[in-house]
Amino acid sequence: MREDVRLMADWSPWVPLLGVEAPRLPGVYLARWGADGPVVYVGKAGDRDGNGTKPKQGLHGRLRRYTSGKALASGLGEAVFDRALADAKWVRERLTAIESGHPERATDWGKAALAWADLQVCWATTADASTAAALEKEVLAAFAATGVWNRAV
């Protein structure tokens, strides 16, 4: 990780995105391509559950949404899916399943795209959602010239 970004927060170790157990706290996460690849995405997670009926989910809930395949049209899920769709071999595998009478659900395509991307993540927890938003903005500014997949950069 870049030294300037490393000094911005207390970051967790890098771990594979698939199977991750992140804390149920607000914070910022980084995703990198493979075990030693570049950081490709910067995201944040707030401290609310969306509807007020479940315990707060924070980073755990946000990253779990991606690994469930249910975030094809938002944030990291969309960025990964767009890149998987540009890989003819990956698309051909999906088409082969369709042609053999075994079409997959959209969530299965999302999970397959994440497996294809082989992402690693690390995170830093924050006191609240507004602190997470401020840290995300600072980290995104540091990575702005590196070609991260975020649309906001």
Summarised one tens digit per residue, pLDDT across range 92-137 is 999 999 999 999 999 999 999 999 999 999 999 999 999 999 999 9
- pLDDT > 80? residue 36: yes
- Residues in CB range of 94: below 8 A, 6 or more apart: 104, 109, 112
- pLDDT > 70? residue 50: no
- Give the count of beta carbons closer than 10 Å to the beta carbon of residue 44: 24
Per domain, the residue ranges of the chain are 3-146
- pLDDT > 70? residue 54: no
- The residue behind tokens 């910022």 is 28
In DSSP terms, which residues pair with 15 in a beta bridge? 121
